[in-house]
Amino acid sequence: MKSKENPDNILKKYKQYLKLEKSLSANTVGAYLADVNKLFQFLSDENIHPFDVTLDHLETFSASLRDLGIQPRSQARILSGIRSFYHYLILEDYMESDPSELLESPQLGLHLPEVLTIEEIDTLIGAIDLSTREGQRNRTILETLYSCGLRISELCNLKLSDLYLEEGFIKVEGKGSKQRLVPISPRAIQELRLYFIDRNLSTIKPGYEDYVFISKRGKNISRIMVFHFIKELSDAIGLKKNISPHTFRHSFATHLLEGGANLRAIQCMLGHESIGTTEIYTHMDTHRLRSEIIEHHPRNKHFREKQRPQA
């Protein structure tokens, strides 16, 4: 067993482990460290060293997350980060037993993510002002998100050297630096070629020449920038749904499934490690199917008419 260390030193070593051995992205590493920092703050207030933690301490910490009003899904993610940290401590021989092994996460109901219809996607894209400097770029971003089902981080880091437009594919680097080839639609290719006309006129900072989507500052676009303009577009057309860049990925998968695509093929295109992650779209399809039946089946229509109050 290794001797106790300063928590800050442990955190630095854990960060190196996540980056070098787990090969996680900077964003994912940041999320894991934020989870552990929440626990460290709690332990500091209670004057408890991380190596002295018991299951009771972790259950109290979990309860404190609920008291802070953190949603169950976010609680579950934080506790997952805590388990990862204690798994690391066991691997590195800092502790003999894992206090998080029996730590339970809050129960989560089935969460069906928001999905856009094809008409809503067309309306959003059609609302982009092409007379502005960023207009064609933003139009291309939405077409690429929807055409390829990309994560926002994958889109922001997409490189010119990853594009194989003549073959109709792009190379994407996903979670854990895993690469995959994704088909890209002819319409998205057309939008990219139009965007390249504007891009060629941009001043790009050294080191960013290979990025596809460039900001006003000459660097690759940020996730916040894409979130912001999608929110503005949504407000402009009066869309009632709460959407984000990830909504286009959900819509891509759902529309493929509705069109008869194989679930394994969708899994490959999305870059999901587990088919279980992809299976949420079968739940969405069933949920939507039920809504369609309730809305359009003649028995249900007849029943609703009978329930209407008579004038």
SS (H, E, C) 165-191: CCCCEEEEECHHHCEEEEECCHHHHHH
Q: How is domain 118-291 classified at the CATH fold level?
A: hpI Integrase; Chain A (1.10.443)
Q: Tens digits of per-residue pLDDT, 51-95?
A: 999 998 998 888 888 777 788 888 888 999 999 999 999 988 888
Q: Tens digits of per-residue pLDDT, 122-164?
A: 999 999 999 998 999 999 999 999 988 898 889 999 999 999 9
Q: How many residues does the chain have?
A: 311
Residue 21 pLDDT level (bands cut at 50, 70, 90)? confident
Domain positions in the chain are 7-91, 118-291
The alpha-helical segments, DSSP class H, found in the chain are: 7-16, 26-45, 55-67, 72-91, 118-126, 135-148, 152-156, 186-199, 223-236, 245-258, 263-270, 275-278, 280-296, 298-307
Specify whether the backbone of 168 is left (phi greater than 0), alpha (psi in -120 to 50) or beta: left
**What average pLDDT does this structure show over 271-278?**
64
Q: Has residue 289 got a pLDDT over 50? A: no
Rounded to whole angstroms, the Cα distance separating 141 from 199 reads 13
Q: Burial, 241: exposed, middle or buried (Cβ in 10 Å; 0-12, 13-18, 19+)?
A: exposed
Rounded to whole angstroms, the Cα distance separating 19 from 82 reads 17
Tell which wins on pLDDT, 93 or 196.
Answer: 196
Contact at 8 Å (CB) between 245 and 169?
Answer: no
Look at residue 160 in the predicted model and tell me its pLDDT: 96
Tell which wins on pLDDT, 286 or 246.
Answer: 246
Look at residue 60 in the predicted model and tell me its pLDDT: 86
Rounded to whole angstroms, the Cα distance separating 64 from 69 reads 9
Look at residue 110 in the predicted model and tell me its pLDDT: 53
**pTM exceeding 0.75:** no
Look at residue 279 in the predicted model and tell me its pLDDT: 57
Q: Has residue 189 got a pLDDT over 90? A: yes
Q: Has residue 302 got a pLDDT over 50? A: no
Looking at every residue in the chain, the average pLDDT score rounds to 83
Residue 73 φ/ψ, nearest 5 degrees: -65, -40
Rounded to whole angstroms, the Cα distance separating 266 from 275 reads 9
Q: Has residue 40 got a pLDDT over 50? A: yes
Rounded to whole angstroms, the Cα distance separating 263 from 280 reads 10
- Residues labelled as active-site residues: 151, 175, 246, 249, 272, 281
**What average pLDDT does this structure show over 250-271?**
78
Rounded to whole angstroms, the Cα distance separating 64 from 61 reads 5
Residue 3 pLDDT level (bands cut at 50, 70, 90)? low
Look at residue 23 in the predicted model and tell me its pLDDT: 86
Look at residue 281 in the predicted model and tell me its pLDDT: 59
Residue 120 pLDDT level (bands cut at 50, 70, 90)? very high
Look at residue 306 in the predicted model and tell me its pLDDT: 53
Rounded to whole angstroms, the Cα distance separating 63 from 32 reads 19
Look at residue 1 in the predicted model and tell me its pLDDT: 55
Residue 112 pLDDT level (bands cut at 50, 70, 90)? low
Q: How is domain 7-91 classified at the CATH fold level?
A: DNA polymerase; domain 1 (1.10.150)
Contact at 8 Å (CB) between 191 and 140?
Answer: yes
Tell which wins on pLDDT, 190 or 45.
Answer: 190
